[in-house]
Homo-oligomer: A and B are copies of this chain.
């Protein structure tokens, strides 16, 4: 019902995840009110991100360079790898400022239901890295779900002959109230108990 170019923009916005007709309309009308320079900046950022960003050839993290910044960094611990499902997880871990090792992005989780087997993921390059480089420990930082657990077990079994393999801890979140924790979280917290030091 809107004039053609506006209707088209609303349609295009609706293709984005989580954007329904109302939100798409709001975004499109907002765009019309902004200065041309600002709209151009968004349009250019879209094309540049799409054309320039690929995967790091070593760790498969999103990167505009053939080798990503983290893999190129000389002040990071080369002996430790943290394997994650997704580039988002790299950013989440980097934000903690607690980890100084390198990463390996698997590019998803094993999910036979969705037709994703180990060969679709960057698992072979991980095994190759652990064989080739000197790696003291691989930390599997993968969410606790059916797919996550399957992937962790599968990758863990493949890596164990070559290096120490650990998995991040699961339990009650900080500030979480025991009374309101779900049964599975609580079961994991019990299972992962440690002796008081």
Residues of A that sit less than 8 Å from B by CB: 1-6, 8-9, 11-13, 15-18, 23, 25-32, 34, 36, 38-53, 62-65, 68-69, 87-88, 91, 94-95
Contact = CB atoms under 8 A, between A and B. Distances in A.
A17 B34 CA distance: 11
B12 A42 contact: yes
A88 B94 CA distance: 43
Nearest to A23: B18
14 contacts: A5-B45, A5-B49, A5-B52, A13-B42, A17-B27, A17-B30, A29-B88, A31-B46, A31-B49, A32-B49, A34-B50, A39-B47, A43-B46, A46-B46
Nearest to A65: B3
A39 to B, nearest CB: 4
Contact of A6 (B3, B9, B62): B62
Given A32-B50, A47-B39, A1 B94 contact: yes
B8 A36 contact: no
B46 A39 contact: yes
Nearest to A48: B5
Contact of A32 (B4, B30, B41, B62): B62
A64 B6 contact: yes
Nearest to A86: B29
A15 B95 CA distance: 22
5 smallest beta-carbon distances between A and B, as pairs? A9-B49, A43-B43, A39-B50, A12-B45, A9-B45
A41 B5 CA distance: 12
Contact of A64 (B4, B45, B64): B4
B32 A27 contact: no
Contacts of A5: 45, 48-49, 52-53, 64
Given A3-B63, A43-B43, 6 more contacts: A3-B69, A4-B64, A8-B48, A9-B48, A11-B45, A32-B53
